[in-house]
Amino acid sequence: MSLIELKDVSKLYGFGDATSVALDEVNLTIESGECVAVMGPSGSGKSTLMNMIGLLDHPTHGDYVLNGKRVSHISVTRRAKIRRDKIGFIFQSFNLLGRLTALENVALPLLYKGFPTSKRNHIARTMLERVGLHDRTYYYPRQLSGGQTQCVAIARALVNSPEIIIADEPTGNLDTESSRLVMELLGEIHKSGNTIIFVTHNPELTRYATRVVYMQDGAIKYDEQTKLGEVGTYARKVMYAVPDTTEEDDLAGVSVLMKVRKDDTVKPSTKRKRTPARRKARLTRSEDGRKAQS
């Protein structure tokens, strides 16, 4: 039995002429223990897919089977319970509460489970140690670096011992070094048996994955198994691909924006800008004039 099975899953937003197809009959099976990188251009449906797998959203058509149970159209309460017990989320924007310390943020999901304070704090402390932040227990998010903040978010995602970790661009707001730190941490979590699904725009980060799924226009375009430590074949192509727009295309786009509408009455300035070359020409002219007078 597979852990995650999406069968002909579609997600439509809006209706009539304004309908947009965020997911278009997606079929995807993920086994327990996989580490899947999801790539694709902006708007290709990556986050919608994550929300679907993480039970934050439900399909318009098709079926979602999680651990052998059909979960596509279950009640909001059951959905929330499965999310709480089975799934840990990590987002690009960290989503920590600014008024709570690192420890309180990590312990928060346990509060919803009804754990007493001492037990909550004990587990949260263990999680902060696991992500290497035991010396930042009482820091507030604003006192932490981006990388540290994301590590607290990872500790919070782990606190319920979820089977599945869903990370939507977990390194999207981080510099290269912090991204490496966060991905190393996710790599360790994967080794300890969790199933991880992460979205990235960075082909380099597919090194941490055992499989790369590439989306386009709401559908899965490529799906390849990869070796840990290696960049996926398709991801490699993307990495070295020549951009398909030229500088002329960009300029054309800009000039469309700059075009003045007929009813716009802004007159172009007649005053010429002083550039260094014009200033030099002006000085030479007046110098020549003085020479001619003398």
Ligand X SMILES: Nc1ncnc2c1ncn2[C@@H]1O[C@H](COP(=O)(O)OP(=O)(O)OP(=O)(O)O)[C@@H](O)[C@H]1O
Among 5, 44, 174, 178, binds ligand X (CB under 6 A): 44
Among 1, 15, 17, 42, binds ligand X (CB under 6 A): 42
Among 46, 136, 156, 190, binds ligand X (CB under 6 A): 46
Are 30 and 58 in contact, with CB atoms under 8 Å apart? no
Nearer to ligand X, 22 or 37 (CB): 22
Interface with ligand X, residue 275, by CB under 6 A: no
CA-based torsion, 212, 96, 73, 110: positive or negative: positive
Are 154 and 90 in contact, with CB atoms under 8 Å apart? yes
Among 8, 19, 20, 246, binds ligand X (CB under 6 A): 20
DSSP letter assigned to residue 73: T
Read off the amino acid at residue 168: D
Nearer to Mg ion, 46 or 136 (CB): 46
Radius of gyration (C-alpha) of the chain in whole angstroms: 27
Among 47, 150, 160, 200, binds ligand X (CB under 6 A): 47
Interface with ligand X, residue 13, by CB under 6 A: yes
Tell me which of Mg ion, ligand X, none is bound by residue 132, counting a contact when its beta carbon lies within the kind-specific cut-off of 5 to 8 angstroms: none
Residues 36-65: x/- map of binding to Mg ion (CB under 5 A)? ----------xx------------------
Are 165 and 153 in contact, with CB atoms under 8 Å apart? no
SS3 state of residue 284:
helix
What is the spatial distance between Cα 164 and Cα 52, in angstroms, rounded to a whole number? 13
Task: Enumerate residues 48-77 that contact ligand X by CB under 6 A.
Answer: 48
Nearer to ligand X, 100 or 219 (CB): 219
Residues forming a β-bridge with 91: 168
Burial degree of 262 (CB within 10 A; 0-12, 13-18, 19+) = exposed
> Which residues would be at the binding site for ligand X (CB under 6 A)?
13-14, 20, 22, 40, 42-48
